[in-house]
């Protein structure tokens, strides 16, 4: 075993990690490591709380007591999502693999619903700027966003806070919330989205 072989192998590994999408058994544990790191920083992993912090920072506390709290103690979560934006920028510039590998069954289902172009990370009809000028686009963007914000705060957390942090801590309320996430997701995917896409 000579040295150059070792280095070649190593470079190969690094390159493959960038070129290929990551499997679930790599991504899941890495995601847990982020949550565990935050625990050791003395914080609890939960992204939707940033929305409340942002509302409070924008002065919503003057109107409602819900936003009248010491939000400056939660500034760390704003830093975290700034990092997430930067991480997205870095990944899109340097680490992106060419195509998202979606199951052929899903592609077929979506084509039946009229989504022909399944390239990129999201259909351009719904997530390009042209969506702002279509009714279905506005419903998806505005109503979808509203439900995310309203629902997450009502349930006291989103996928990160309930599904990851909450379930890790064996919280029954988090299990109820996650069941709710799936009931809502299944209703939307199978019954409501087909109607919205016809708008």
Partner 1 sequence: MKTIKYIFAGILFGIIMTKAEVISWYRIQEMFRFQSFHMYGIIGSAVALGMLATFLIKKLRLRSIQGQPIAFNDKKKSIPRYLIGGVLFGLGWAMTGACPGPLYVLIGHGFGVILVVLASALLGTYVYGLFRNKLPH
Binders of partner 1 in range 4-33 (CB under 8 A): 21-33
As measured in angstroms, the least distance from the Cβ of 9 to partner 1 is 21
Q: How far is the CB of 156 from partner 1 (least distance, A)?
A: 7
- Residue 16 tokens read as 């493959």
Segment 66-95, which members bind partner 1 (CB under 8 A)? 66-67, 76-77, 79-92, 95
How many whole angstroms separate alpha carbon 31 and alpha carbon 164? 9
Residues 153-172 that bind partner 1 (CB under 8 A): 153-156, 158-160, 162-172
CA angle, 70 then 48 then 173, to 5°: 100
> How far is residue 192's CA from residue 104's CA, in Å, rounded to a whole number?
22
* Residues 109 to 148 in contact with partner 1, rule: CB under 8 A: 109-110, 118, 121-123, 126-129, 131-132, 139-148
Backbone angles phi, psi at 68, to 5 degrees: -100, 85
Torsion of CA 86, 90, 91, 95, to 10 degrees: -170
Half-sphere exposure of 25 (CA within 13 A, CB side): 0
Closer of 6 and 146 to partner 1 (Cβ) = 146
5 versus 104: smaller Cβ distance to partner 1: 104
Q: What residues contact residue 164 under an 8 Å CB cut-off, 6+ apart? A: 31, 32, 35, 45
Residue 9 vs 122, nearer CB to partner 1 = 122
Q: How many residues bind partner 1 (CB under 8 A)?
A: 126
Minimum separation from the CB atom of position 90 to partner 1 (A): 7
Among the listed residues 14, 135, 179, 195, the single contact to partner 1 using CB under 8 A? 179
Site for partner 1 in 45-64 (CB under 8 A): 47-48, 50-52, 54-55, 60, 63-64
Task: Give the residue with the Cβ less far from partner 1, 10 or 176.
Answer: 176
What is the smallest separation between the CB atom of 2 and partner 1, expressed in angstroms? 32
Q: Which two tokens stand for residue 134?
A: 């279509």
List all residues 6 or more positions away from 139 whose beta carbon is below 8 Å from its beta carbon.
Answer: 196, 199
């Amino acid at each position: 075993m000579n040295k150059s072989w070792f280095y070649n192998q190593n470079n190969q590994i690094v390159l493959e990690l960038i070129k290929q999408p990551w499997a679930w058994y790599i991504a899941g544990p890495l995601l847990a490591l982020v949550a565990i790191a935050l625990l050791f920083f003395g914080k609890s992993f939960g992204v939707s709380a940033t929305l409340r912090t942002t509302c409070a920072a924008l002065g919503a506390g003057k109107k409602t007591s819900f936003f009248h709290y010491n939000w400056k103690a939660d500034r760390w979560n704003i830093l975290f999502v700034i990092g997430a934006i930067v991480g997205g920028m870095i990944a899109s510039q340097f680490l992106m693999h060419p195509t998202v590998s979606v199951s052929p069954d899903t592609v077929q289902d979506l084509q039946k619903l009229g989504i022909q172009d399944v390239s990129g990370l999201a259909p351009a009809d719904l997530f390009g700027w042209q969506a702002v000028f279509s009714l279905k686009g506005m419903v998806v963007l505005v109503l979808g966003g509203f439900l995310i914000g309203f629902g997450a705060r009502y349930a006291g957390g989103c996928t990160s806070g309930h599904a990851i942090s909450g379930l890790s801590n064996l919280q029954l309320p988090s299990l109820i919330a996650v069941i709710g996430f799936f009931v809502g997701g299944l209703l939307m995917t199978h019954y409501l989205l087909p109607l919205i896409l016809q708008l």
